[in-house]
Amino acid sequence: MVKKRGRKSQRQYFTEDTELAIIEYLASEDQVERNRIYNDRIHYSFYKLAENLIHTFKFYYTEVDDLEDLKHEVICFLLEKLHYFKAGKGKAFSYFSIVGKNYLILYNNNNYKKKKAKVDPLEADNDDGILSEFERTEVRDEKVEFIDLYTRHMDSILIETFKKPDELIVADAVLTILKKREYLEIFNKKAIYIYIREITGMETPIITKVVKTLKNYFNDYYSQYLEAGYIYK
């Protein structure tokens, strides 16, 4: 007797078929086929992953009234980072869990910062749903345009620059922080290391190597920017 294929259980929402679907999606250049693969075999897994991350880690400081909207934002971010995943270099579930958690930590902390500005500091600090934060200072205005150029450029060369999955995850986390930089001091060594270790779970040597590489690119490109007004390599 052939059993009907039912909907995935909550424990099996991200399966081997999900990973195969992601690989097939990335290999295809046909947008119609990509849409079909995503809708039939990937979307539900991303939806449940976003839902579980939000509730497991209590990411409840949002700018939206409905958590469904926040889930949608997480799914969009996962799709934006989908092309970084490489078959055979780690499990898709682990990669997208880290990527999704990185996004939510930054999103949650940013909104918590806004809340602290509006309520009694003691009341906000006593909320045990808040993740620990590090000290940050505002980015100087003259670097704002450059940082936008820098993060876009690094996104375009990230995969060729960082070949190992662990390094790619750390690099992506650092760039994500730079994009949400309202209170971030650029490459504050202690802050970056503590925060990246917290949100990626990676060891210090990996973080050190990645941050050093990113900082070298940063300094080189900033010199170009000051000289020519743009990044030319």
Least Cα distance to 188 among 140, 135, 149 occurs for 135
Residue 146 falls inside a structural domain: yes
More confident residue, 219 or 47: 47
Domain stop point among 133, 162, 192: 133
Q: Is the pLDDT of residue 37 over 80?
A: yes
Same domain, 142 and 119: no
Examine residue 71 and state whether it is found in any structural domain, yes or no. yes
Q: Are residues 122 and 35 in the same domain?
A: yes
Residues 60 and 154 in one domain: no
On whether both 93 and 179 belong to a single domain, the answer is no
Q: Is residue 161 situated within a structural domain?
A: yes
Confidence of residue 42 (pLDDT cuts 50, 70, 90): very high
Average pLDDT, the chain: 76
Residue at 217 is within a domain: yes
Task: Looking at the structure, tell me whether residues 99 and 181 fall in a common domain.
Answer: no
Contact residues for 187 (Cβ-Cβ < 8 A; gap 6+)? 211, 214, 215, 218
pLDDT given at position 172: 86
Does residue 5 lie in a domain region? no
Buried b (16+ CB within 10 A) or exposed e, 139-161: beeeeeebbebbbeebbeebeee
Cα dihedral angle (54, 57, 58, 63), rounded to 10 degrees? -50
Quick one: pLDDT band at residue 119, thresholds 50, 70, 90? very low
| Residues 22, 121 within the same domain | yes
Spatial CA neighbour of 168 closest among 215, 216, 206, 217: 206
Give the least confident one: 8-12, 131-135, 137-141.
131-135
Residue pLDDT, tens place only, 169-226: 888 888 887 776 554 555 555 666 777 777 777 888 888 889 889 988 988 888 888 7
Pair (18, 117) in one structural domain: yes
Clarify whether residues 111 and 28 are in a common domain: yes
Regarding predicted confidence, which is higher, 121 or 175? 175
- Within this chain, do residues 138 and 232 fall inside the same structural domain, yes or no? yes
Query: Containing domain of residue 223, as a range?
Result: 134-233
Given 105, 133, 161, the domain boundary residue is 133
Which residue is listed with tokens 């779970």?
A: 201
Please report, rounded to a whole number, the percentage of residues in the chain having pLDDT higher than 90: 21
- One domain for residues 149 and 68: no
**Overall number of domains in the chain:** 2
Residue 109, pLDDT above cutoff 60: yes
**167: nearest Cα among 180, 154, 152:** 154
Residues 142 and 104 in one domain: no
Residue 6 covered by a domain: no
**Residue 163 in this model has a pLDDT that exceeds 90:** no
Distance (Å, whole) CA 163 – CA 185: 27
Residue 41 sits in the same domain as residue 149: no
pLDDT at 2 over 50: no
User: What is the pLDDT at residue 226?
Assistant: 78
Residue 121 reports pLDDT greater than 70: no
Domain membership of residue 1 (yes or no) is no
Final residue belonging to a domain, choices 108, 133, 158: 133
Q: What is the pLDDT of residues 51-82, one digit of tens each?
A: 988 887 777 767 777 889 999 999 999 998 89
The pTM (predicted TM-score) of the whole model is 0.54
Assess if residue 125 is contained within a domain: yes
What was the pLDDT predicted at 142? 53
